[in-house]
Amino acid sequence: MSRAGTRVRLTRLRAALLAVTTLMLVLSFWAVSLVQDTAEVARDRATVAVLGTADVRTALVAADRAAVTTFAPGETTLVGLGQEYTNQLAIANQSLARVAEAHQSAAGTGQLQVVAGLVAAYAGAMAQADAHYRQADSLALGTADLWYASRLLHGPGGVLDQLSDLEDAELAVLDAQLRDGGSEVLPEQLRLLPVALIPPAVLLVLIVFAHLAFRRWFRRRLVPGLLVAALLTVGVGVAVVGAMSRQGRLDAVRAEVHAEVTDRGLRITDEDVLGQRALESLLAKRCVDLCGASVAAFRNSLPPTPPEPGPASPRPVAAMARDAAEPWIPEWLVAVAVVLAGGSLVVGFRARIEEYRYRETEAV
């Protein structure tokens, strides 16, 4: 082959290597940053919204049971709603504020506004019940206020129903993010991560080919520029594989959130039934002849009394989410490695092309 033909082949090979390097820069940076962003969103927003909603439900059910238990004797009381009710209602409002900051579902804002309004109405009704129960001649009114507050919380479309719907919506968002890393443009991005391994593999093949070509054309056993580029390319490939392996952590976080939601749901149900049973006992004392059909239906719909829930054993969801979001390798370091690989290729080829031109000059 002529010297001009060899020079053309060198130029084309260099262009191909740099083109693949550019593609590797784009895809590797995308792969590492996608997994990192997904893990950070799960840590800072998705899990906070799901578990925060469960916290609100837990606190409201506990507050309701505490208040009903305070009024259960059905007599004038000077104790009021009690410290437990006050504490749990404060926890519910704080958790609701966290959910408002972290929620991601499309209907979340509207549902949160409804919930906030209903919780305020519930607290107002409980305050009315407290005021009436402090007066011996107003116990019936206090019982009516207590019943109204209970329906705000437990009735169809009430606070607990709204929170349950919101929890399901936020859980669906979390599932989509941790399973697919979706967006409007690419709804299943995480499943495309293996594509990011193609450029490093192709680049390594081209580097080996270039090394063999240099060995044949220039009698070079070792080309430092190509060797450095190959090592950096392997490093980028390892970074992409590491990003892909972190999907396992995200799947573990998703499974743990589901398990935590299920456990919380069972505890909330048991706590709620116990509180509603206490309310039923109070109504049986205060509403012998005054209560209507709705209260009778309420009594008949109550499930059997469950055992008292034991101490909660929270799962390490937050710790797992933080661990999954710990960057294994920064995105900028991947970009620097790719740029250095491209620079090493340019340097390696430049030296060989200059050497070839020098030979051509000597031949002339």
What residue ranges do the domains of the chain occupy? 3-178+193-363
pLDDT digits (tens, 9 = 90+) for 10-50: 788 888 999 999 999 999 999 888 888 888 888 888 888 89
In one-letter notation, the amino acid at residue 364 is: V
Work out the pLDDT band at 237, boundaries 50, 70, 90. Answer: very high
pLDDT of residue 160: 92
How buried is 94 (Cβ within 10 angstroms: 0-12 exposed, 13-18 middle, 19+ buried)? middle
pTM of the predicted model as reported, rounded to 2 decimal places: 0.80
pLDDT of residue 364: 44
Nearest to 171 by CA among 85, 237, 264: 264
Query: For residue 346, is pLDDT > 50?
Result: yes
Q: What is the average pLDDT value for the chain, to the nearest integer?
A: 82
Q: Distance (Å, rounded) from C-alpha 79 to C-alpha 68?
A: 13
Contact present, 32 and 240 (Cβ < 8 Å): yes
pLDDT over 70, % of the chain: 83
Nearest to 104 by CA among 181, 172, 186, 180: 172
Contact present, 168 and 161 (Cβ < 8 Å): no
Q: Distance (Å, rounded) from C-alpha 117 to C-alpha 319?
A: 33
In one-letter notation, the amino acid at residue 251 is: D
Q: Distance (Å, rounded) from C-alpha 159 to C-alpha 62?
A: 14
Q: Distance (Å, rounded) from C-alpha 275 to C-alpha 160?
A: 14
Q: For residue 57, what are its two tokens?
A: 């439900």
Angle at which helices 198-218 and 3-41 cross, to 10°: 160
Q: Which residue has the higher pLDDT, 233 or 222?
A: 233
Q: Distance (Å, rounded) from C-alpha 312 to C-alpha 268?
A: 11
pLDDT digits (tens, 9 = 90+) for 301-345: 777 777 777 666 677 888 888 888 887 788 889 999 999 999 998
> How many alpha carbons lie under 13 Å from residue 39 in its C-beta half-sphere?
26
Residue with tokens 């109504």: 283
Residue with tokens 């060797």: 227
pLDDT digits (tens, 9 = 90+) for 158-190: 899 999 999 999 998 888 888 766 554 455 677
Residue by residue, DSSP assigns 109-151 as HHHHHHHHHHHHHHHHHHHHHHHHHTSGGGHHHHHHHHHHHHH
Query: For residue 233, is pLDDT > 50?
Result: yes
